[in-house]
Amino acid sequence: MCPNCEDFARTVLLLGQLALYADTTGADLDFVEAVSPSLAVSLPEPPPGVFPDGYDPDGGPAYPGDS
């Protein structure tokens, strides 16, 4: 297994579980709001094969307000 695959899979799983928790009745949305950005930022580089060859995340259309 590649060195980052386990970390990537674990972080994605935690983000999914957090999303499910956020949809439950009585969920602490302050907790969700505080934890979700930290989890998202901690994602390591995706393992090889997740994106197609030559994928450029900056290659899409310009967003409104971008020059």
pLDDT of residue 20: 96
Higher pLDDT, 5 or 10: 10
* 4 band by pLDDT with thresholds 50, 70 and 90: low
Per residue in 25-46, pLDDT (tens digit) is: 999 999 999 998 888 888 877 7
In contact, 43 and 11? CB cutoff 8 Å: yes
pLDDT of residue 25: 95
Q: 52-55: long-range contacts at Cβ-Cβ below 8 A with a sequence spacing of 24 or more?
A: none
